[in-house]
Amino acid sequence: MAMFDPQGLLSPFTVFGRMLVQDLWRTGCGWDDEIDEESFQKWVRWTKVLPMIEAIRIPRSYFGDVRRDQLEDLQLHVVSDASKGAYGCAAYFRAVIGGTIRCVLVTSRVKVAPLKPISVPRLELQAAVLAARVAFAVRNGHSFSIRQQFFWTDSTTVLSWIRSDQRNYKEFVGLRIGEILTRTNLSEWRWVPTKMNVADQLTKWTRDPEVNSTSSWFTGPRFLYLPEADWPKQRLPRPDTEEELKAHLHVHDVQLPASVIDVNRISKWTVLVRTMACVFRFVSNCRKKVKGLPLETLKPTEKQMKKIIPIAHAVSRTPLKQEEFQQAEIWLMRMAQSDEFSDELKILIKNSKLPIEAWLEIEKTSFLYKITPLIDENNLLRMDGRAGPADFLPFDLRFPVVLPKDHAVTWKIVQHYHERFAHG
Mean pLDDT, the chain, rounded, equals 85
Which one, of 402, 393, 356, 394, lies nearest residue 375 by Cα?
402
List pLDDT tens digits, range 273-305.
999 999 988 988 899 888 888 888 877 666 655
Convert the pLDDT of each residue in 92-135 to its tens digit. Answer: 999 998 889 999 999 999 999 988 888 999 999 999 999 999 99
Between the CA atoms of 300, 302, 307 and 310, what dihedral angle is there, to the nearest 10 degrees?
A: 10
Examine the pLDDT at 69 and tell me if it is beyond 90.
no
The model's pLDDT over 147-178, given as tens digits with 9 standing for 90+, comes to 999 999 999 999 999 988 877 888 888 899 99
% of the chain exceeding 70 in pLDDT: 91
Q: Residues of 1-18 as b/e, b for ≥16 C-beta within 10 angstroms?
A: eeeeeeebbbbbbbbbbe
* 303-342 pLDDT per residue, tens: 655 554 554 467 777 888 899 999 999 999 998 888 888 8
What angle is formed at CA 375 by the lines to CA 370 and CA 381, rounded to 5 degrees?
65
Q: Is the pLDDT of residue 251 over 60?
A: no
- Backbone torsions φ then ψ of 315, nearest 5 degrees: -115, 130
Mean pLDDT of 199-224: 82
CA distances from 99 to 64, 67, 69, 173, 232 (A): 16, 15, 14, 42, 22
| pLDDT average, residue stretch 234-261 | 64
281's enclosing H/E stretch is helix 269-291
Least confident of 31-35, 148-152, 164-168, 383-387: 164-168
Q: What is the pLDDT of residue 252?
A: 47
Least confident of 71-85, 169-183, 283-297, 358-372: 358-372
- Residue 351's Cβ-count burial label (10 Å; 0-12, 13-18, 19+) is middle
Distance (Å, rounded) from C-alpha 59 to C-alpha 71? Answer: 17
